[in-house]
């Protein structure tokens, strides 16, 4: 029993240490994601967009439904793909966001209710 507790403590300590090293709590990731969202996404998806051929969909509850507005499954992988490659009239953000930035953005999109 003592050995099990020692192992559990060790695992917890390693996990906590890894979190400290990464300096990246989920909350911080979401905050960074919100900054990226405000900068790159909100101007089309959350505001008025005059003269555009098609109004971009709003992104609240993006992950609450099984499907994205495009009809594709609402998964992190699919959302990342759409951001990187673009979709229809949505421009590709290829090379404009880092992997970390994409992670942060997707983390924030999960919080939109």
Partner 1 sequence: MNLQKLVPVVLTGVLLTTGCQSSTKRYNLRGQVLEKSISTSEITVKHEDIPGFMPAMTMPYKVKDPAVVQELQPGDAIAAEVVTANNGKDYWLEDVRITDESGRKSAKPAAPAHRLEVGERVPDLPLINQDGKTFRFSDFKGKALLVTFVYTRCPMPTFCPRLSSQFAKIQNDLAKSPEDFAKTHLVTISFDPKYDTAPVLRKYGLAYLDNDPAGFSHWDFASTNSGDLRKIADAFGLEYFEEDNQISHTMDIVLISPEGKIMKYWATEWTTAELEDALRQQAKTVSTPQKPLTPRKAG
Residues that bind partner 1 (CB under 8 A): 35, 38-40, 42-44, 47-53, 56, 86, 88-89, 91-96
With 0-12 / 13-18 / 19 or more C-beta atoms within 10 angstroms meaning exposed / middle / buried, residue 26 is exposed
Nearer to partner 1, 19 or 42 (CB): 42
Tell me the C-alpha distance between 96 and 41, whole Å: 13
Kindly tell me which of 6 and 100 has the beta carbon lying closer to partner 1: 100
Name the residue nearer to partner 1 (CB basis): 6 or 49.
Answer: 49
State the residue for tokens 């939109």. Answer: 112
């Amino acid at each position: 029993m003592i050995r099990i507790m020692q192992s559990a403590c060790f695992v917890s300590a390693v996990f906590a240490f890894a979190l400290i090293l990464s300096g990246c709590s989920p909350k911080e990731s979401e905050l960074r994601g919100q900054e990226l969202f405000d900068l790159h996404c909100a101007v089309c998806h959350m505001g008025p967009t005059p003269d555009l051929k098609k109004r971009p969909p709003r992104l609240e509850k993006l992950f609450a439904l099984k499907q994205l507005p495009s009809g594709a499954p609402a998964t992190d992988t699919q959302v990342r793909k759409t951001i990187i490659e673009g979709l229809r009239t949505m421009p590709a953000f290829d090379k404009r966001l880092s992997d970390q930035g994409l992670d942060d953005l997707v983390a924030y999109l999960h919080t939109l209710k």
